[in-house]
């Protein structure tokens, strides 16, 4: 355990949780190794895109040393909090345990307005450690840390060597731990899933990243498996792009394509199922040609994840019926269970996405 006199300031709830925190004091994040302040100082001298390209080139040419003996084991990272995402997280985590997944879970939230002691105590019996990112950022500062930006940050600073990132509104149909032992993960050290669309050969992000003009499938970041050691530099580059989300999010949708671009820039290998994403549909929801969410599949074409990316679970309305959705009844039961147990839910903020 970290010496209690450590200068990391943890919220009381986190201090009481018996987890090894060495990764938070020993972990080396990219901004301790690479300074781009001299490039940023040129912003009045050069145009915007060349400035970001210069930073990307510096990242590409810099060696990032993985901090050995810092991370250990396998686990799940989830980013959630507030009245918008906590019900989804409650359902997703409970269903992980029901399908036999016993991997430890870290739930990361932005600050204390998103999680109170009651919410943390509700998750404790499920082997969930709740982490206030604003406290971790006091030791490991981040230029910008909002909703999407939190996801790569949480992967980097979670205690796990091999990490599964799972969105709060995403439900694993069966125990997902087997993906860590799959031939695809063993070969490349990371697994991504496809999104609905493709990146056009004329997309501006390709020229910004100095990548070939070719069409590629977009990434969907509702579930990711990453071996930090083998993907360390790509993770740092992903985090860099999210720290400058004010620029990159105008070129791509949120965090998901920052993983994609980072992996492509570094020519980092990755695995992806060949089975396309399938739309969730129900009569009450069809937004701009898209469904209520996504069905994702494993490498054999079996349903693996049910991601309610648009029609999120909440306590104020009935869960809509979705064709092919496996755990509809269980979701309804868990929502009712949470209504009974979460007595102070009206005092928690409704989280606004970044």
Residue 304 has pLDDT above 90, yes or no: yes
- Percent of the chain past pLDDT 90, that is, above it, reads 66
Q: What is the mean pLDDT of the chain?
A: 87
Nearest to 105 by CA among 116, 95, 115: 95
Give the pLDDT confidence score for residue 76 in this predicted structure. 98
Residue 212 has pLDDT above 80, yes or no: yes
Mean pLDDT calculated for residue range 52-66: 91
Give the pLDDT confidence score for residue 287 in this predicted structure. 54
Residue 5 has pLDDT above 50, yes or no: no
Residue 15 has pLDDT above 50, yes or no: no
Within 8 A by CB and 6+ apart from 330, the residues are 91, 95, 98
- Measured distance CA(23)–CA(158) in Å, rounded: 8
Evaluate whether 124 touches 101 at the Cβ level (below 8 Å): no
Residue 56 has pLDDT above 90, yes or no: yes
- How far the first Cα of the chain sits from its last, in Å, is 34
Q: Which residues of 35-53 are buried (b: 16+ CB within 10 A; e: fewer)?
A: ebeebeeeeeeeeeeebbb
3 state DSSP class of 226: strand
32 vs 251, residue with greater confidence = 251
Neighbouring C-beta atoms of residue 187, cutoff 10 Å: 11
Mean pLDDT calculated for residue range 249-261: 95
Tokens matching residue 186: 């063993």
Evaluate whether 326 touches 192 at the Cβ level (below 8 Å): no
Q: What are phi and psi of 179, to 5 degrees?
A: -60, -30
3 state DSSP class of 179: helix
Residue 23 has pLDDT above 90, yes or no: no
Whether domain 12-25+66-274 has CATH 3.20.20.80: no
Res. 346 pLDDT band, cuts 50 70 90: low
Give the pLDDT confidence score for residue 293 in this predicted structure. 87
Tokens matching residue 221: 């970041």
Give the pLDDT confidence score for residue 312 in this predicted structure. 85
**What is the tens place of the pLDDT at every residue in 98-149?**
999 999 999 999 999 999 999 999 999 999 999 999 999 998 888 889 899 9
Mean pLDDT calculated for residue range 195-216: 95
CA torsion angle 295 298 302 308 (round to 10) = -20
Return the domain boundaries, the chain.
Answer: 12-25+66-274
**What is the tens place of the pLDDT at every residue in 227-245?**
999 999 999 999 999 999 9
**What is the tens place of the pLDDT at every residue in 268-286?**
999 999 999 998 877 665 5
Lowest mean pLDDT segment, chosen from 68-72, 316-320, 322-326, 339-343: 316-320
Res. 20 pLDDT band, cuts 50 70 90: low
Give the pLDDT confidence score for residue 44 in this predicted structure. 76
Lowest mean pLDDT segment, chosen from 157-171, 262-276, 317-331: 317-331
1 vs 256, residue with greater confidence = 256
Evaluate whether 85 touches 168 at the Cβ level (below 8 Å): yes
Neighbouring C-beta atoms of residue 311, cutoff 10 Å: 20
Residue 295 has pLDDT above 90, yes or no: yes
- Measured distance CA(77)–CA(80) in Å, rounded: 10
Residue 9 has pLDDT above 70, yes or no: no
């Amino acid at each position: 355990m970290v010496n209690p006199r450590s200068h990391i300031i943890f919220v009381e709830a986190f201090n009481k949780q018996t987890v090894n925190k060495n990764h938070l004091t020993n972990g080396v994040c990219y901004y301790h190794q690479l300074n781009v302040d001299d490039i940023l100082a040129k912003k009045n001298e050069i145009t915007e895109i060349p400035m970001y390209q210069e930073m990307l080139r510096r990242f590409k040419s810099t060696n990032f040393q993985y901090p050995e003996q810092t991370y250990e084991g396998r686990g799940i990272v989830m980013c959630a909090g507030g009245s918008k995402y906590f019900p989804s997280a409650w359902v997703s985590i409970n269903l992980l345990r029901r399908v036999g997944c016993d991997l430890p879970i870290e739930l990361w939230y932005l600050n204390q307005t998103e999680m109170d002691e009651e919410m943390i105590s509700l998750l404790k019996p499920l082997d969930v450690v709740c982490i206030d990112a604003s406290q971790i950022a006091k030791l490991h500062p981040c230029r910008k840390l909002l909703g999407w930006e939190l996801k790569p940050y949480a992967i980097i600073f979670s205690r796990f060597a091999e990490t599964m990132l799972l969105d709060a509104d995403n439900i694993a149909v069966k125990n997902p731990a087997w993906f860590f032992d799959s031939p695809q993960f063993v070969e490349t050290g990371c697994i991504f899933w496809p999104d609905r669309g493709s990146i056009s050969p004329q997309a501006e992000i390709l020229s910004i990243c100095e990548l070939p003009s070719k069409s590629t499938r977009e990434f969907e970041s509702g579930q990711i498996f990453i071996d930090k050691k083998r993907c360390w530099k790509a993770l740092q580059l992903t985090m860099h792009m999210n720290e400058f989300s004010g620029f990159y999010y105008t070129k791509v949708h949120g965090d998901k394509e920052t993983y994609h671009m980072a992996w492509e820039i570094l020519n980092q290998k990755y695995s992806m199922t060949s089975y396309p994403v399938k739309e969730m549909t129900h009569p009450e929801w069809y937004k701009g040609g898209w469904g209520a969410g996504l069905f994702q599949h494993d490498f054999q074409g079996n349903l693996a994840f049910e991601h309610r990316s648009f029609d999120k679970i909440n306590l104020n309305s009935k869960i809509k019926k979705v064709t092919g959705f496996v755990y509809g009844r269980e979701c309804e039961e868990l929502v009712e269970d949470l209504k009974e147990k979460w007595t102070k839910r009206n005092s928690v903020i409704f989280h606004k996405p970044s």
